[in-house]
Amino acid sequence: MQLRYAFRLYPAQRQRQALAQAFGCARVVYNDALRARQDARAAGLPYLKAAELSAAMTVAKKNPERCWLGEVSAVVLQQSLRDLEAAYRAFFDGLAGKRPRIGAPRFKSRKDARQSIRFTANARWRITERGKLALPKIGEVEVRWSRALPSVPATVTVIKDAAGRYFASFVVQAADDPLPETGAGEGLGIDLGLEHFAVLSDGRKIASPRFLRRAEKKLRKVQRAVSRKQKGSANRGKARTRVARVHAEVADARREFHHRLSTMLVRENQAVYAEDLCVKGLARTRLAKSVHDAGWSQFIGMLEYKAARHGRTFARVGRAFASSQICSGCGFRDGPKPLHVRAWTCAGCGAEHDRDVNAARNILNEGRRITTG
């Protein structure tokens, strides 16, 4: 299974300059190639092949106006061309109906929030004995290794985000790591909600942790500050940078929380079931913001790959089964209930239900039904 691992990088001043140059060169190569394709199309010429773009780049390096391209690792520039190829392929596949439609490749800008370059195996990048990331023409960069890599990665992407932070992102092949079976236990149903982050079929209710709520509160505050600054002013620019930084903090805090909770639930249970969110459908409604904030799909994705990796069962259950209208004990349909009704008594069997725990139990029932056939 392929997993992505990202680690914070702390480049020295000189290395930050070299990285800025590499981001810039990768962008110029990408944009030159994109423009060449667009010009060829406008002139009614055939679609330019990747080899022709690559040859054009080699010629451009000899042009005094583009000679600085030679100061950056050639592999990084080649990779930039391959990224353009991938963007075109995704675009054409969308037109052909092979995948969801996306827009045509667009020009990159120095103002883009996210800058990145990729080093493949033949770029001769490596992790040094002292744990630094050695990048060609950039140097040995300090890394904070927050967890161990399960295998040696072939490529590394270096990213600078909108908050000015640097990351190394690796895609690695991770072997399965089955956990001992938990023995007894029927599995766990998870109901994702707004009031609690999650309610479990065993009755536990899990709130968003305080560090995350605090970060979110701070984010709302700095967002309000931006709207009070005059448009185009230097202060507004500063406030926006601040928002980007706090945004990054919130995303980190959320990911951390999702990792901790998903690891815990997968370890504790032989089978885990969650509702299929169809986030795309929900995103068009007023719920969009809270769906986005709660980051449910990120969490469910973690449950899924961790379950697969650790030999656990995982399944998504259709929304209809997450219902708070159906008694999880006897299956009696009790009819719709307004959101303020938090508890009810089943008219069929007399069971007392907490609305959300009952929904989680329905998810568990349906999950077991669909996975045991």
**Interface stretch with Zn ion, choices 17-25, 75-83, 298-306, 327-335 (CB under 5 A):** 327-335
Q: How many residues does the chain have?
A: 373
Mark whether 202 is an active-site residue: no
Measured from the CB atom, the residue of 258 and 353 that comes closer to Zn ion is: 353
Tokens at 259, concatenated: 């990792």
Candidates 275, 276, 293, 354; catalytic one: 275
Report if residue 359 touches Zn ion, rule: CB under 5 A. no
CB of 351 to Zn ion, least distance (A): 5
Report if residue 278 touches Zn ion, rule: CB under 5 A. no
CB of 353 to Zn ion, least distance (A): 8
Tokens at 131, concatenated: 């744990």
- Helical segments of 184-343, H only: 210-228, 234-268, 279-283, 288-294, 296-309
Helices (H) and strands (E) in the chain, counts: 9, 14
Q: Which residues contact 97 (CB under 8 A, 6 or more apart)?
A: none
**Interface stretch with Zn ion, choices 89-97, 126-134, 151-159, 331-339 (CB under 5 A):** 331-339
Q: Which residues contact 208 (CB under 8 A, 6 or more apart)?
A: 197, 257, 294
Report if residue 209 touches Zn ion, rule: CB under 5 A. no
The DSSP line for 138-173 is: TEEEEEE--S--SS--S-EEEEE-TTS-EEEEEEEE
Report if residue 330 touches Zn ion, rule: CB under 5 A. yes
Report if residue 349 touches Zn ion, rule: CB under 5 A. yes
Q: Which amino acid is at 251?
A: A
Report if residue 348 touches Zn ion, rule: CB under 5 A. yes
Mark whether 275 is an active-site residue: yes
- Binding residue (CB under 5 A) for Zn ion from 50, 85, 329, 354: 329
Total binding residues toward Zn ion, as defined by CB under 5 A? 8
Q: Dihedral sign, CA of 247, 252, 258, 261?
A: negative
Mark whether 356 is an active-site residue: yes
| Contact positions vs Zn ion (CB under 5 A) | 327, 329-330, 332, 346, 348-349, 351
Q: Which residues are catalytic?
A: 191, 275, 356
